[in-house]
Structure 1
Amino acid sequence: MRQYEAPEDAQTLAMAIVETIPEPFVVLDDALCLIAANDAFYKIFDIDPARSLGIMLYDLDERQWDIPVLRGFLELAVPQHRAIADFEFERDVPPLGRRIMLLSARTVRYEGSDRSNTLLAFRDVTEARKAEAEKQALLEHTEKLLEQQRVLFQEMQHRVANSLQIIASILMLKARAVTSEETRHHLEDAHQRVMSVAAVQNYLHLTDGIDQIEVAAYLRKLCEGLAKSMVLDSNPVTIDVTADRSSIPSANAVSLGLIVTELVINAIKYAFPSPRLDARILVSYEVQDTDWKLVVSDNGRGKIETNAPPEPGSGLGSLIIKALAQQLDAQVALTSTDAGTSVAITRATFTSRMPNAA
């Protein structure tokens, strides 16, 4: 370390350092009297330099610095030579008003002397604290609005679910009442559409607020609900689900769920016209990096009967499925033989590890 030949040189350097500090900075002697300060201290606190040197800190500016919390802290810390970092206190600063200040302090002791100096640095954090308070208030207000939105959304979901159930019931009653086979077929198709939406809506209602949906659990819950509502005791059908562990955005889950519901309901209605002990529908979902493949297959009658109702490759059902698949950037492929029907929804190039047929 460079040694200065004259004490005046060291003092000049010390004062130059003090003056270059942009925030208020003071140097006190061991009696806490001011022996040096920079221009920022004098300007911000409007203190006359000529009337401050040699004055005790608490007596400065008509005793504006005689703040009990500040006095207590300094009188405890300075004699023990404890460094102070970001001690917060408040004081009035004309004409700025009430300000929040952070104080950092350090006591310097000199070898071979009982004298000491205390260095004080002040930082005005009023605007920062105000910004933090406004940010917190905004966050609380946003949370309140989001909570209101969640309540309204839940109420809307409840009303939608009730409305779908009512519509489905009306459509089924009408389908049973009409004498025209064509009209009955259209009403049953409409009923199927409503049930598809209701099944997906019901599951997503249970996962409200979750951005990512776990596919395996989602498909199992969906198919369990379909089995309970659509499979008759007189014509039992087993619905199995095999799915890789993965998650998808809730928006994609809606489209995927509607596709599965549409295909499963279609298989329940048309694949097994007469009871079979081995009647089975398999829903499989595989993932490979960003690609995936969904297959809904059955071991029903397929195309064995030429007078069978339309398979899921034609009509309104296929249009809906193709439109939903396009939303997922996927392609639709149908295979139907006397061994059953299989519909595959594939995103990009995907090599399946599972058999398509049930």
Structure 2
Amino acid sequence: MPTTLPVRNLEEANLLAHAIVNTIPEPFLVLDADLRVLEASRSFYEIFKVAPGQTQGCLLYALGHGQWDIPALRLLLETILPERVAMDGFEVDHDFPVIGHRIMLLNARKVLYDESDTMAILLAFRDVTERRAIEQEKEALLKRSEELRRQNEVLLQEMKHRVANSLQIIASILMLKARAVSSDETRFHLQDAHQRVMSVAAVQQHLDMSDGIDQIEVGNYLQKLCTGLGTSMIGDSQPVTITVSSDTGMIPSAKAVSLGLIVTELVINALKYAFPIHHPEATIDVRYAIDQDDWTMIVSDNGVGKDADKPPKADGGLGTTIVAALAKQLDAKVTMTTSPAGFSVTVARAAAATPLLQGA
């Protein structure tokens, strides 16, 4: 059964209504049809710094020396509300003489009585000034963050451009020096240094194609890198096919740098030493496999291999040192195998006893 309020007469009903109004924590007004204040909540007096004697019975627009004579409020009460029974979330942005700038959301209700033509208007106020300030501050921070991001992108592109130019200048100087010196040994070392610089430039160029993305698709990256190496280093006297096969997966750009340098170093060494004589089916094979955090990369060729008793200069030389240092950065191990069928280098980070790929 519905519960009825214990009201026995009009006086008790007015007393109950007055108590309800004063219980509401937000500013609240009851207006008559002429927009005069019939009742105001205690929170209304406290927040807007007005006295009951200067409020009850007064026209709303005259309250507080006209501080409520607001065009937006007039629009609500005189134009919108007459056409509706209720209005929610009507925003009023105003500078009040005592309490300063405030943003208020107004909820309005018309109360129509069946037994008379009289009407009352209930008007509730919710101060959202602080919330709006937080929203504006957040929007400003986001805008500033976006501006900083764009500035960083411009600086990053400028840095990449300067790095690429610097590498090209260094490589050109090394090549000029190599052509100018008379010592064959010095010329060999200068040419070797030139190739190292060009390998770094190649890795940097292919990473630039990712447009600063932190995660890079490894198969596509290795394919483009090897294609670039083949185009720049394979001559007509000894054609060499470079094949790339890889599991699909994303790797961080920092890891891609080390992997790219390792592949570049191993491919360059294979091109330099694996085919001293013409080989009709000369091939360098690059393979990469992923299993969660474990991975294996193998660079193999079908060239002359290595003499176990007298290894080529690359074995134990600068190239091997570079590959070992890069592998250590990746927490990986390097294994080299040789046979009459060619030479293979395995770089693996594997928790299991054996790598994911078997050597060629």
TM exceeding 0.5: yes
Match of 2:185 in 1: 182
Kindly report which structure 2 residues correspond to 1:44-83, keeping only aligned pairs within 5 A, or say none: 44-83=47-86
The 10-residue stretch of structure 1 (113-122 or 320-329) with the greater mean CA deviation from structure 2: 113-122
Task: Assess, with a 3 A threshold, how the Cα gap between structure 1 residues 233 and 10 changes in structure 2: closer, same or farther.
Answer: farther
Task: Assess, with a 3 A threshold, how the Cα gap between structure 1 residues 188 and 57 changes in structure 2: closer, same or farther.
Answer: same
Aligned pair 1:197/2:231, yes or no? no
The 10-residue stretch of structure 1 (191-200 or 90-99) with the greater mean CA deviation from structure 2: 90-99
Kindly report which structure 2 residues correspond to 1:228-247, keeping only aligned pairs within 5 A, or say none: 228-247=231-250
Kindly report which structure 2 residues correspond to 1:164-179, keeping only aligned pairs within 5 A, or say none: 164-179=167-182
Q: Distance in 2 between matches of 1:296 and 1:167?
A: 28
Match of 2:144 in 1: 141
Q: Please report how far the alpha carbon of residue 9 of structure 1 lies from its aligned counterpart in structure 2 after TM superposition.
A: 5.0
Aligned residue type for 2:229: L
TM-score relative to the length of structure 1: 0.89
CA contact (8 A) 1:78 1:118 kept: no
Aligned residue type for 2:345: V
Aligned pair 1:348/2:350, yes or no? yes
Kindly report which structure 2 residues correspond to 1:211-250, keeping only aligned pairs within 5 A, or say none: 211-250=214-253
SS of the aligned residue for 2:82 comes to coil
Match of 1:22 in 2: 25
Aligned pair 1:265/2:268, yes or no? yes
Aligned pair 1:35/2:69, yes or no? no
Q: Distance in 2 between matches of 1:248 and 1:110?
A: 72
CA contact (8 A) 1:192 1:262 kept: no
Q: Distance in 2 between matches of 1:344 and 1:199?
A: 22
Match of 1:2 in 2: 3
Write out per-residue CA displacement over residues 243-277 of structure 1, whole angstroms, 9 at most, x where no aligned residue. Answer: 11111122221112111111111111111122322
SS of the aligned residue for 2:157 comes to helix
Match of 1:127 in 2: 130
CA contact (8 A) 1:45 1:94 kept: no
Task: Assess, with a 3 A threshold, how the Cα gap between structure 1 residues 260 and 11 changes in structure 2: closer, same or farther.
Answer: farther
Task: Assess, with a 3 A threshold, how the Cα gap between structure 1 residues 40 and 338 changes in structure 2: closer, same or farther.
Answer: same
Unmatched runs of 5 consecutive residues or more in structure 1? none
Task: Assess, with a 3 A threshold, how the Cα gap between structure 1 residues 109 and 231 changes in structure 2: closer, same or farther.
Answer: farther
Q: Distance in 1 between matches of 2:109 and 2:332?
A: 68
TM-score relative to the length of structure 2: 0.88
The counterpart of 1:323, out of the listed 321, 325, 330, is 325
Q: Distance in 2 between matches of 1:216 and 1:236?
A: 23
Match of 1:289 in 2: 292
Aligned residue type for 1:138: L
Q: Please report how far the alpha carbon of residue 304 of structure 1 lies from its aligned counterpart in structure 2 after TM superposition.
A: 4.2
CA contact (8 A) 1:171 1:188 kept: yes
SS of the aligned residue for 1:79 comes to helix
SS of the aligned residue for 2:142 comes to helix
SS of the aligned residue for 2:251 comes to strand
Task: Assess, with a 3 A threshold, how the Cα gap between structure 1 residues 174 and 55 changes in structure 2: closer, same or farther.
Answer: same
CA contact (8 A) 2:296 2:356 kept: no
Aligned pair 1:152/2:173, yes or no? no
Aligned pair 1:103/2:97, yes or no? no
